[in-house]
Homo-oligomer: A and B are copies of this chain.
Amino acid sequence: MNFRLAAGAALAAVALTAAPAFAQSKMSGADVIKKYNKDNDQTLELAEVINLGVKLFAEINPDGDTTLESNETAGRITEKEWKQANKDGDKTLEMDEWLSILRKRFAKANPDKDGSLDAAELDTPAGQAVILMIVK
């Protein structure tokens, strides 16, 4: 995607200004589970969360290219997370880089380490940070 290289400087400028104020998620943990949990266990397991993150990647990618630019992730991830995830330094996030942030957030939201988030865990600040990456 050579056009991205050309756009790199502009995107870098956006990245510096797009450090998102964390938007409060619009959905409660109970609502998220009601809408997205498919196996009726009243929790979202890691695999379900990762899968929802894969879907959201496409949904917030209106230019339909293969990566997320910083304006597409604004309000969802922090500038610090962006830099840590963007190991190849290419001003864009590939899917695996995006998911690396989501997996870390899942771990923070899952202090009992049972591998699934219940409604109460989703309602914590850490859980809301997960929701920002799985719900449009």
Contact A66–B41 (Cβ < 8 Å): no
What chain B residues lie within 8 Å of A115 (beta carbons)? 88, 90
Please report the total number of A residues contacting B with Cβ < 8 Å. Answer: 27
* Among B41, B48, B54, B90, contact of A54 (Cβ-Cβ < 8 Å): B54
A84 at the interface (CB under 8 A from B): no
14 examples of A-B residue contacts, CB within 8 angstroms: A1-B48, A3-B39, A4-B47, A46-B90, A47-B67, A47-B94, A48-B66, A50-B94, A88-B115, A95-B96, A96-B96, A96-B99, A96-B102, A99-B99
A3-B39, A54-B95, A90-B115 known, 9 other contacts, Cβ within 8 Å? A1-B45, A2-B41, A46-B88, A47-B67, A47-B90, A47-B94, A50-B95, A54-B54, A95-B96
